[in-house]
Amino acid sequence: MAVKNILFDLDGTLLDTNELIIQSFQHTYKTHLKKNVPKEEIIKSFGEILKVTLDREFKDLSDIALKTYRDFQFSRFDDYITMHKGVKEGLKRLYDEGYRLGVVTSRLNDSAKRGLDLFHLTNYFDAIIGADDTNIHKPDPTPALLALEKMGAKVEESMIVGDSPYDILCGKNAGMISVAVGWSALPREMYIKHNPDYVVESMEELIEIIKSL
Beta pairing class for 100-104 and 5-8: parallel
Q: Which of 9, 11, 133, 167 is the catalytic position?
A: 9
Short-list 165, 198, 140, CA closest to 43? 165
Single-letter code of the amino acid located at 89: E
DSSP 5-67: EEEE--BTTTEE-HHHHHHHHHHHHHHHH-----HHHHHTTTTS-HHHHHHHHHGGGHHHHHH
Distances, alpha carbon 161 to alpha carbons 31, 37, 144, 149, 207, in Å:
35, 29, 11, 18, 11
Residues 165, 47: Cα–Cα separation, whole Å: 8
User: Is 117 annotated as catalytic?
Assistant: no
Query: What span, in angstroms and rounded, lies between the C-alpha atoms of 26 and 21?
Result: 9
Tell me the catalytic residues.
9
